[in-house]
Structure 1
Amino acid sequence: MSSVEKKCEPFYLRPSPRKTSAEIISEARRSLRTICTQRPFTPRDDQRQLFGKASSRSSEGRPPSTFSLHARNFEESDSRPGSGKRLSPLEHKPRLPAPPDDDLDSSPALPKPPADPLQIRRAGGARARLFKSGSLAGLPPVKRPEESIKRQSSDPSSAGTSSPVLSRNRNPLLTDPASAEKSQTGGLSKAACEKTVPRRPASERYSSGTVCAGDVGTLVTVAVGTQAKTEELRRGEVKDELGESVYWDTQVLPLLQELESVPQDAADSVEHLCSICERLHCILGEGDLLGRKGKRRAALLRTLFQLIDVGSDQLNLQLAKVILALSVSGNNLLNICKLIFKISRSENNDVLFQNNSIIDSLLSVLHSEDVLSVGEAVLYCMGTLKFLSGNRSLLRMLVGKGSVAALLHLSGRLCRAATPGDAHFAIAGHILVQLTATLRNLADLPESRPAFLSNGGLPELCLVLQQHSGDKDVCTNIARIFSKLTSYNVCCTALTNIPECYGLFLELLRKHQKKQDLVVRIVFTLGNLTAKNNEARERLWAEEGSLDTLLGLFLLYHQMDAAAPAPRTPGGTAEGQRPDHRPPSGVEDVLIKLIRVLANLSIHPTVGSTLASNTQCVELLLKVLEHKAIDDCEELVINAAAAINNLSFYQEESSAVRASALSIAHLMLKLLLSRNMDGMLEATRVFGNLSQSKVVRDFIVQNKVHQFVVTLLDSKNQDVCFSACGVLINLTADKGRRAILQEEGVVQKLLDCLRDFGPGDWQLAGLVCQTLWNCSEDGVALCFSEQETHAALQLLALYSDEELLQQWNISEDMREFHRACWELEFIPVAQRLRNRIQSQVNLLEPLTTPS
């Protein structure tokens, strides 16, 4: 053996001082692993209610889910139309003082007050009735609007006796200067005016805000311009009103009459009424009569309200669509939203919403200017959307209509409009329960994720969480949204980059630590954040009280689990079959997710070293392994073993894992004997780290664990063989253990592993070569048979050929990584092993060559 080979030492499974990228990956595979787990199960509500059975709200302080509605519940006061067009008011109302003595006679004519309204009504006749507010009677014969306007302008008789509206607005300054002068003095003579109104100095007159005689000309100009504008608008109103009347009589009124004439007891009456309502909605839209500007809106709504008593859900949806399009408000808006909510409570009615555009009307209600002034209506509107989002087809329809952006925008408005302590804070919380529950359903669809990200959904939901941290229902819904979204990398990264979220989640865990459905989802989200991002691990760990919060929860739920009665595994199983495992309880599920967070945190070197030295953390993990059987709760036991494996990577003097190495070894032995493949794999990984200690290696040999580990090389599973090699490489480092392993046929099994997995897993191939190197420390001839020697040389020569490397069937995206692993993980140790075997074979050849 050469001097170089004499200096070579056995390989140990321990971190090297200098790490390449491939070595870091290899090291992580050997020791540190993130843990995957299923998202917490969300039970489906068996009944559609505003607040489900699990709600933390008392039944007394929340709006009802059941009620009755009839036509009498709607108010006709809302039916009054708006006042139409209005002139902009003047900024001030000037008063005209008495003119000065020296220019009283030359002053221009002053404005004349309006004529007596009683005289206008007497003079107007039939034409006055035409413009009477709210009147539906006395309409002129139906004519085209342009014909009516032409007749009015060309009639010479009407030019002398104009309509009340026009005569009331005639400019008195242009018709009667004398009367204007008289009106300015209130009917007094010029002399009486001089005695009544004393003359004041000019400075006082101009500073008082009144208009003196010198400004009357300016006032007259303004008045004439205003009067002309008013008269022009009045003519426009007359034309619009005539046009609306014609459209009403020819298009709308026949449909209303048809609605009233349909016999309600006929078999097809509902279908007929729905068809009429659909046509009515189109006609109103074409005539620009939707909203609140229709003059005969009262009669229209009155007819629609009466049809609600027909009692058909299909008809009521059609009616609701038309009524909402007429911009009802107040109690009518609330009742119509309640009516739609009542219809949506039955899943059988979901098909009605699919065939109706009522969803657009509901989304428009959410855009009310002052959302809290119609808060209860918005609440029932949101309750309807929540129910509909439980239907997969309607859910896709909601996403397509931009509901995610609308709901996120509404949540922001609610947070800004109602802060804790405000009178509207309670109703805002009720709305947010429905809103976040709807977003929770929307988050199920992959196509909704871009909308959450592009509309700032994650920061917005964090703001809601912060403001409503005491509302368990809101917090639970948002936690469900996060648990769904963070299952995907892009959303997980977006939440990771919100620094405030870590402290917020810890605060919620402290505040609601016994609310299991909230805690399990927050912990699951934290596990997702810390699974692949080292920065997330640092931020969570840096939050004040983070370790105390996590370990406090661990202790609390472990005590709750220990106090719970032992569960029974359902059903029996035939001999040799694996028993049917029951799903974990709520407490167990919290522990599963919580241990996952600790295991993921321990991947960070600083955090992992601290956790490994924390006696309470290690003891709690060991208690789980002591008191839980893998057949009772498989995922909990495996997660605890994986956390121990990550912590056992840190072998500092202060490590609590190192101090409890023998206790852990006994627990891992129990796991090896469970015959659960996942459990055996985790136990083997732990032994791979703990076997660096001589005490643990002695334990392995004394309890014949080495026999079991050698057998695992036949598993044909790459991960199992990798973990088994991790134990064997440490056992073969001891000179006294090599003979025992050779008796178990370890060399041949290692060569089989190299042959089976080498080309596809160079990390495993390198680890096999390291184990073979340790086995050959006492001499190749002592541990290798002649057949094994030649097989080893052939495999090492084959796998070291770079030209043959190009022939392996590897995808392009993995080719670079595969080559790096081959160069860094396999070639160095393979060449050393090949040289050792070849040199010793060369020394033996003369002795075996025949003379």
Structure 2
Amino acid sequence: MASMERKHEICTPFIPRRSALTKTSAEIVSEARQSLRVQSTQRPFTPRDGHRQLFGKSSVRADRGSRPPSAFSLHTQNFDAPDSRPGSGTRLSPLDHKPKFPVPCDAEDAFKAFPKPPADPLEVKKGLAGARVRLLRAGSLTTLPPVEGHTDATERVNPDPGQKQLSAKRLPATDHTKVHGGPCKPGPHRAASERRIKQPGVDSGLRPADCTTGRRTELGDGDDTTSKEEDAESLMWNNKIGPLLQELETVAAGSSEASVDRLCDLCDGLRGTLAEADMLGRRCKRRSGILRALFHLIDLNSAQLNLHIAKLCLALCVSGNNLLNICKLIFQISRSESNDILFQNNSIIDSLLGVLSNEDVSTSGEALLYCVGTLKFLSGNSAILRLLLDKNCVGVAQKLIQRLHTVEETHFTMAGHILVQLTATLRNLADHPDSRPLFVSFSVLSQLCLVLRHHRKDQDICTNISRIYSKLSSYSECRLALAQTPDCYRLFLELLSKHHQKQDLVVRLLFTLGNLTAKGEEARQELYQCKGCMDTLLRLYDSYQRRETGVPSSSKPPVNTQEDDDVLVKLVRVLANMCIHPAVGPALASNTTFIQLLMETLELRSVQESEELLVNVAATINNLSFYQEESSAIRHSRLTISNLMLKLVLSYSMDAMLEATRVYGNLSQSKDVRDFIIQNKVHQFVVTLLDSKSTEMCFSACGVLTNLALDPPNRVSLSLEAAAAKLVDCLRDLGPGDWQLAGQVCQALWNLIGGGSEKLLDTQETESLLEVLITYSDEEEALKWIENADMRAYHKECWELEFLPVAQKLMKTLQPPDLIE
């Protein structure tokens, strides 16, 4: 009876243990090492687009005629000078000449100089303003020169329609002279209007001093504050702003290289002056004159100057066509990488982020598009990338995404164009380590899931977001945030099914799923329980395994691209990680279609061309072989799989050898597999692996030898290969650094000598083994080289759990009877 009990003890095969009891850290590591393994792989590589375009060559929008262009021409005449005025609705060609309408200063009524004035004074005012709007719109910057002797229409047209009507109602109905100031005195000397700055095509907006005073007296009756503000603005204009505009014109006329720097300084000086006087935005009544002067400079075609002009125009809150053209102008400059340095030395990025924060897609959709396109280009520069993070670009992007969620159907297409640029920008930002906390704190990852739901048909948007996820899901805090997003797994499966032929999208979604299932048990089960999960994944598997050549024949393997193999690598990794869950693993092991696809991959692919794929397939089979239920398809196909593993064992790849050896370690629990190993001389190769000095390789080899030594005939075959001597050397060399390996070596030796029933070790080998066992069984001697307290505790657990019990049993068997107490 005792001999039977000992025989049963001797013949314990190499079977990984799984206990429902609370495990020590050593037990957890031991299980992970001996059985199920999480698979890792490299993140898909995204090549950099060599040309800066709104939509790259791979974009599905590449053939759409309606998509916004990346290249265009901008000139002065493209801008609308009277930016603060409503458009006439009709765009006329610029005038070839500049007609001049002189108005005599001694006229009783300035309006009499114009033909056929309306009888009603309200109609007079309204009609004149309307005419000016149409002329200025039509002629753009080649507009009428300043009209002498009457008030500039710019002041009479208020940007706010409500305020315009109110001003008109307050005008006296009978006295035109008071409205426009007192009558000008006849004579050769004109009023103070002569002192104003006159620029060709630029209306400075200055008025005669006496006319201005009369107007304020009439309209500002009882409003001293308004009069003081107008006086202050006129003073600022005459003393500072006007001279700056005149100098801008003078320097621009010089058109020398040195003048560009001077013009940039003047633009900055003008902006500072306006800011000091609180006249930025739309608060300056002569704002349109400033804009016209700035627009004239654009034809100088200087990127440096145009950025300064754009910054000032955005500070003046241009809108409509001018806002669009300014954003186009900045976009055009950003298309050249050589101009990146200009953005680093200019606060224009703050202005762009301001546009993104304040403009709405319904009114400024195209301007937002070019604005975000600029940030996409700039975020490819590492130095500017850092600036964007410091300026809260992630937070601004998150707010814009929220606004784009609510766009009306009529603006949905433009919202999609903007999101292509925005997600590409976020993709670049995700490269920087400091961006990860921002993506989490601003809930950008969950917001992007909403974008995927709304734009699931848009391959460009889906691909960009998949790139963001593939980058960030490699980090624990981002992975957790994504895993907590409701229904993200179902959404990913829907996208995989819908866009199954778009390789770059599929491979990144699979990589993200592989990252999510690598660490969390909940993720493995939640993904598996999604409706249609395995159907979707296995259809992808079958599709990419047979791409380009159809179903392969036995004589002609398929010619697959590296990209197709990459999809299969990521897909198999997801399935391998799912196998780890105790409820999912048995179901997958019983899935005949799945197992058949794995074996087909092993049969059709070569290690030379598809090394990583075959390694992942072998690792998946190893995980599945842990489950030994009767329904397991792995169990029923174990001999076929053992035969397919031969190409991996005999390959040049150490990773392939390792995974194949692990598979043999699990499958060799069955006697027919052990017989197959001996018959095909695989045991010779396994013994040779003990010389590798790799702890993982030796551990797997010892597992196979432990199972092979269960059968007495196999012990003789192993002894002929000097397996015992190699095991002793492995224990001596690697044991103190890896007590799990040391314990497995002792288990293999125990089975090899038949628990003492067979004498397969000579005297020298026995003495050498006893010496090592005695030394390593002493705790102080075994752990003396470990100084770190935490590591010492861990190694002690492994030493006590994995090594000491079997070592003591082995020593008791090897020692002479007279030395046994």
**Fold match by TM threshold 0.5:** yes
CA contact (8 A) 1:738 1:775 kept: yes
Q: CA deviation at 1:25?
A: 2.5
The Cα of 1:45 is off from its aligned counterpart by 1.1
Match among 469, 473, 478 for residue 482 of structure 1:
469
CA contact (8 A) 2:626 2:666 kept: yes
1:486-505 to 2 correspondences below 5 Å: 486-505=473-492
The offset of 1:584, in angstroms, is: 6.0
The 10-residue stretch of structure 1 (774-783 or 238-247) with the greater mean CA deviation from structure 2: 774-783
Separation in 2 of the partners of 1:713 and 1:766? 15
Indicate whether 1:72 and 2:72 are aligned: no
State how 1:559-574 maps to structure 2 within 5 Å: 559-560=546-547, 562-563=549-550
**Corresponding position of 1:366:** 356
| Partner SS state of residue 36, structure 1 | coil
Q: Does 1:524 align with 2:511?
A: yes
For 1:391, the aligned partner's letter is N
Answer yes or no: is the 8 Å Cα contact 1:763–1:825 preserved in 2.
yes
> In the alignment, what sits opposite 1:258?
247
**Deviation for aligned residue 1:125:** 5.5
**Could you tell which deviates more after superposition, 335-344 or 806-815?**
806-815
Return 5+ residue gaps in structure 2 as ranges: 86-153, 165-169, 186-190, 194-202, 554-558
Residue-by-residue CA offset, 1:609-656 (whole Å, 9 max, x unaligned): 111111111111111111111001211111111111111111111111
Change (3 A) 1:59 1:253: same
Aligned counterpart, 2:58: 54
State the match for 1:390 in structure 2: 380
Instruction: Say yes or no: does 1:350 pair with 2:340.
Output: yes
Structure showing greater Rg = 1
Equivalent residues of 2:359, 2:368 under 8 A apart: no
Deviation of the 1:809 alpha carbon: 2.3
Whole-angstrom distance in 1 between the partners of 2:748 and 2:303: 76
Once residues 533 and 743 of structure 1 are traced to their aligned partners in structure 2, the CA distance between those partners, rounded to angstroms, is: 46
Letter in structure 1 aligned against 2:630 = E
Identity %: 55
Task: Please name the residue that 2:538 is paired with.
Answer: 551
Q: 1:625: which partner in 2?
A: 602
Q: Distance in 2 between matches of 1:169 and 1:253?
A: 25
By how many angstroms is 1:122 displaced? 8.4
Partner secondary structure for residue 76 of structure 1:
coil
Q: 1:139 to 1:790 in 2, by over 3 A?
A: farther
2:229 is equivalent to residue 240 of structure 1: yes
624, 629, 639: which one aligns with 1:662: 639
Distance, in Å, in 2 between the alignment partners of 1:135 and 1:70 is: 24
Q: 1:172-191 residue pairs with structure 2 within 5 A? A: none
Q: CA 1:734–1:804 in structure 2 vs 1: closer, same or farther (change >3 Å)?
A: same
Q: 2:520 aligns with which of 529, 533, 548?
A: 533
Q: How does 1:328-339 map to 2 (within 5 A)?
A: 328-339=318-329
Q: CA deviation at 1:543?
A: 0.5
Residue 113 of structure 1 and its aligned partner are, at CA, apart by: 12
Whether the 8 Å contact between 1:561 and 1:588 is mirrored in structure 2 is no
- CA shift, 1:85, in A, is 10
1:5 Cα deviation (Å)? 4.8
Secondary structure of residue in 1 paired with 2:55: coil
Deviates more, 1:816-825 or 1:626-635: 816-825
Tell me: CA distance 1:748–1:113, structure 2 relative to 1, closer, same or farther (3 Å).
closer
Which secondary structure state, in structure 2, belongs to the residue aligned with residue 478 of structure 1?
helix
Residues 371-395 of structure 1 deviation map (CA, whole Å, 9 limit, x = unaligned)? 3310000000011111111112111
Match of 1:318 among 299, 302, 308: 308
In the alignment, is residue 613 of structure 1 matched against residue 590 of structure 2? yes
CA–CA distance in 2 between the matches of 1:506 and 1:130?
A: 76
Inter-CA distance 167–489: structure 2 relative to 1 (3 Å threshold): closer
Separation in structure 2 between the aligned mates of residue 37 and residue 361 of structure 1, nearest angstrom: 41
Whether contact under 8 Å (1:11, 1:771) holds in the other structure is no
Q: Give the partner amino acid of 2:55.
A: F
Q: CA offset at residue 563 of structure 1?
A: 4.2
| Structure of higher RCO (CA pairs closer than 8 Å, 6+ residues apart) | 1
Does the C-alpha gap of structure 1 residues 71 and 457 become closer, same or farther in structure 2, counting only changes over 3 Å? Answer: same
Query: Moved runs in structure 1, 4+ residues, more than 6 A?
Result: 1-4, 84-89, 112-115
- What's 1:759 paired with? 736
Contact 2:775 2:782 in 1 (8 A): no
How many angstroms apart in 1 are the aligned matches of 2:476 and 2:656?
28
* 1:330 to 1:130, Cα distance in 2 relative to 1, 3 A: farther
| Pairs within 5 Å for 1:135-174 | 135-139=205-209, 165-166=216-217
TM-score if structure 2 supplies the norm length? Answer: 0.83
Partner in structure 2 of residue 802 of structure 1: 779
State the shift of 1:565 in Å: 11
Q: Within 1, Cα distance between the matches of 2:538 and 2:247?
A: 72
TM-score computed with the length of structure 1 as normaliser: 0.80
CA distance in 1, matches of 2:420, 2:500: 20
Name the residue aligned to 1:153: none
Question: Which of 440, 459, 469 pairs up with 2:446?
Answer: 459
For these two proteins, the number of residue pairs brought into alignment is 724
Structure 2 letter corresponding to 1:9: I
Distance 1:664 1:564, change over 3 A: closer
Residue 837 of structure 1: how far off its partner (Å)? 2.1
The alpha carbon displacement at 1:166 in A equals: 4.6
Shift of 1:748: 1.4
C-alpha distance in structure 1 between counterparts of 2:805 and 2:624, whole Å: 29
Shift of 1:814: 3.0
Measured in 2, the distance between the counterparts of 1:785 and 1:747 equals 10
Question: 1:458 touches 1:495 (CA, 8 Å); kept in 2?
Answer: yes
Shift of 1:164: 5.6
1:311-337 CA distance string (max 9 Å, x none): 111111111111111000000000110
Work out the CA distance in 2 between the residues paired with 1:785 and 1:602.
Answer: 45
Aligned to 1:447: 434
Letter in 1 for 2:575: L
C-alpha distance in structure 1 between counterparts of 2:743 and 2:230, whole Å: 92
Aligned mates of 1:164, 1:16 — CA distance in 2? 97
Structure 2 residue corresponding to 1:646, chosen from 623, 633, 651: 623
2:535 maps to a residue whose letter is: D
Match of 1:29 among 33, 49, 69: 33
What is the rounded CA distance, in whole Å, between the counterparts of 2:792 and 2:454 in structure 1? Answer: 50
- What is residue 409 of structure 1 aligned with on the other side? 399
Cα distance, 1:784 vs structure 2: 2.2
What are the superposed Cα offsets for residues 477-527 of structure 1, whole Å, 9 maximum, x if unpaired?
000000000111221122122231100000101111111111110011001
Structure 1 residues 247, 86: CA separation in 2 closer, same or farther (over 3 Å shift)?
farther
Q: 1:245 to 1:815 in 2, by over 3 A?
A: farther
- Out of 240, 254, 275, the position equivalent to 1:285 is 275
Q: What SS is found at the alignment partner of 1:239?
A: helix
